[in-house]
Amino acid sequence: MADKRMFSLKIVDSDLFLDMPLSSQCLYFHLSMRADDDGFVNNPKKIIKIIGANEDDLKILIAKGFVIVFDQGIIVITHWKINNYIRKDRYKPTMYIEQKQQLYQTENGTYILEEKAGCHLVDQRLSSGQPSIGKGRLDKVSIDKGREEQSTPIFYGEYKNVRLSKEEYKKLKEKLNSHTDIMINKLSRYMESSGKTYQNHYVTILKWYEEDKEKLTQKSLNKKMNYDVGESL
């Protein structure tokens, strides 16, 4: 395995990358430095401990699509082939053949899981043979993709660190109405200033809202009364 790695500005200078917390960006660089010549890392948890990051940083990288995780805890850097070019005489194939065979490679070199390939049928498969997916399979991919989009975390708040799925955000809008963004930003600012993290941001917001509901309602009422008085004048 080489002791030098490269990074493409197309990846690390993108808004998607720069919008992540600095700790997640740092973890990405450390994982990439320790990856094998095909971009695989078998000890992400050890690296997280070494650099003082936390598992939420890895979850962010996964949610944003910068790494792909396998059942065994092994990960691969999604844009490895975009970042790195390794000469054939120095290249050492990965030992994680089973995981590699679960991947497709798009024309620009991006890794994508076979089960999420969907319309990428013209992409070159990393293992032998050409991809072949029938209409039934494509329909299932479309359904699964819709479900995945509903459950895939999106990052909200002033500092883009509040993790919610589309379904959770929709439920918050139904329950909190006009107070939704207020509560999301409150959590976002608190985590950014304190460094604390929460296992479930959706439940945390609901809990905080129950504690603040009376105060927020009274504040909204006072604002409306002031508006009405000003309007009558």
* 129 and 33 share one domain: yes
What range does the domain containing 78 cover? Answer: 9-145
- Would residue 25 count as lying in a domain? yes
Mean pLDDT confidence for 35-60: 95
**Strand partners of residue 155:** 163
* 167 and 222 share one domain: yes
pLDDT tens digits for range 54-84: 999 999 999 999 999 998 889 999 999 999 9
Nearest to 213 by CA among 175, 164, 169: 175
Reading the block at residue 79, the tokens are 């844009």
- Would residue 119 count as lying in a domain? yes
Last residue of a domain, one of 145, 171, 204: 145
Last residue of a domain, one of 145, 165, 195: 145
CA of 173: how far to CAs of 168, 170, 190, 223, in Å?
A: 9, 5, 21, 20
The pTM of the whole model exceeds 0.75? no
Compute the distance between CA of residue 160 and CA of residue 193 in angstroms, rounded to an integer.
13
Compute the distance between CA of residue 91 and CA of residue 87 in angstroms, rounded to an integer.
6
* 131 and 161 share one domain: no
* 174 and 123 share one domain: no
pLDDT tens digits for range 90-105: 899 999 999 998 898 8
* 114 and 157 share one domain: no
Share of the chain above pLDDT 70, in %: 76
* 51 and 100 share one domain: yes
Last residue of a domain, one of 145, 172, 205: 145
- Would residue 42 count as lying in a domain? yes
| Residue 94 pLDDT | 94
- Would residue 132 count as lying in a domain? yes
Calculate the average pLDDT of the chain.
81
Compute the distance between CA of residue 130 and CA of residue 99 in angstroms, rounded to an integer.
17
* 105 and 30 share one domain: yes
Strands 40-41 and 75-77, sheet pairing: antiparallel
* 216 and 108 share one domain: no
- Would residue 17 count as lying in a domain? yes
- Would residue 4 count as lying in a domain? no
- Would residue 3 count as lying in a domain? no
Report the 10 Å Cβ neighbour count for 161. Answer: 22
* More confident site: 182 or 139: 182
Mean pLDDT confidence for 104-120: 73
Mean pLDDT confidence for 153-164: 86
* 128 and 108 share one domain: yes
Total domains present in the chain: 2
Nearest to 168 by CA among 196, 145, 200: 200
221 pLDDT higher than 70: no
Confidence grade of residue 160 (pLDDT, cut at 50, 70, 90):
confident
Strands 154-156 and 162-164, sheet pairing: antiparallel
Reading the block at residue 134, the tokens are 């029938």
Residue 46 class from Cβ within 10 Å (0-12 exposed, 13-18 middle, 19+ buried)? exposed
* 100 and 163 share one domain: no
- Would residue 1 count as lying in a domain? no
* 54 and 127 share one domain: yes
138 pLDDT higher than 50: no
* More confident site: 7 or 136: 7
* 170 and 139 share one domain: no
